Amino acid sequence: MGDGPDIGYAVPVHNGAKYLEEALSSLAAQTVQPRKVYIFENHSTDATVEIARKFVEKYPHFELRPAPTFLSAAENFNRAYDCLVDRHEFFGLLAHDDVLSPNYIEALTHRLTANPKSLMAVGDVVNLANPEAGPIWFDLRILDAGSYVDPKRGYKRIEFPASWYYGIYHGKAARNLMVQSEAQFPSLWGGDRLQVLHFLLRGQLEYAPGTQFMWRPGSDSFRVFAEKRAIDMLRRRWEYHSIMWSQRHYLHPKGIWQKLALWQLCFHTSARDTYRLEPLLLGKYRKYHEIT
């Protein structure tokens, strides 16, 4: 474990006994092992602690880190990231109910090592509720940041799996960019995608085909975290668009047509994370006319 890249992994968990063993087993089965795997346990009341201790006893590089007091999910994630970036050159985070293919860490760290200017690496994403469907599709052209200012680029928005958020990051510069993104857009609905966009817009994201991050749906994040009122959705959409547009100096658009192409790309991409605004307004319109 000391011969490979200096990578640390963290698994934040609260009451995750149902899937935790599968997640930790996927880390233990990596072809390149992390230097350390930290289990950030957060006052669970199920068998989470017992499962974590079993792995700590079996694997010397696994470590259990209980929270001193109960934390929100965001607080537990942030203490995990802060621990990782202080101790390791590369770092990644795995939700307690997700799974990595055995080559995930090896392939992603190889991409980052080969391209030291890049700060983030991702792989394919598979939905564990429908694994037969294979990796979630995305347009490979979005990996070329230079195409963002091309009026003839051939795609309307920058679309990718939200689970790219769980990629592997490189160094304190990556963490600083993550913190900056969270401060600009603290919403837990859409904030993960915007964070990835910061790396894409700078041309600092690597893609490792043939690897799989296996994601288990079920958090219902839209219902829990998304804005519910149309006015709030509009405000969030404008904030999202403005943050994307503020990064244009990394892309150097020339002339009115390239600037317009980039502005439209920002507009359509920001609409993705408030995509329920139009159905909401249409429903209110129909309801009004039914009453009147």
Residue 208 DSSP SS3: strand
pLDDT per position as a tens digit, 11-24: 999 999 999 999 99
Superfamily designation of domain 1-97: Spore Coat Polysaccharide Biosynthesis Protein SpsA; Chain A (3.90.550.10)
Instruction: Evaluate if residue 139 carries a pLDDT over 90.
Output: yes
In this prediction, residue 104 carries a pLDDT of 98
Laid out side by side, the sheet with 62-64 consists of: 62-64, 36-41, 7-13, 90-93, 168-170, 120-127, 205-215, 99-100
In this prediction, residue 74 carries a pLDDT of 87
What is d(CA 273, CA 190) in angstroms, rounded to the nearest whole number?
5
What is d(CA 96, CA 155) in angstroms, rounded to the nearest whole number?
34
pLDDT per position as a tens digit, 249-283: 999 999 999 999 999 999 999 987 655 544 444 44
Domain range summary for the chain, segments of one domain joined by +:
1-97, 100-292
Give the dihedral sign, CA 99/13/35/82: positive
At 289, is the pLDDT very low, low, confident or very high (cuts 50, 70, 90)? very low
pLDDT per position as a tens digit, 175-224: 999 999 999 988 766 788 999 999 999 999 999 999 999 999 875 555 55
Beta pairing class for 7-13 and 36-41: parallel
Question: Model's pTM, two decimal places?
Answer: 0.90
Mean pLDDT of 120-129: 97
In this prediction, residue 83 carries a pLDDT of 96
At 163, is the pLDDT very low, low, confident or very high (cuts 50, 70, 90)? very high
Instruction: Evaluate if residue 142 carries a pLDDT over 50.
Output: yes
Contact assessment for residue 186 and residue 77, using Cβ atoms and an 8 Å cutoff? no
Q: Tally Cβ neighbours within 10 Å of residue 131.
A: 11
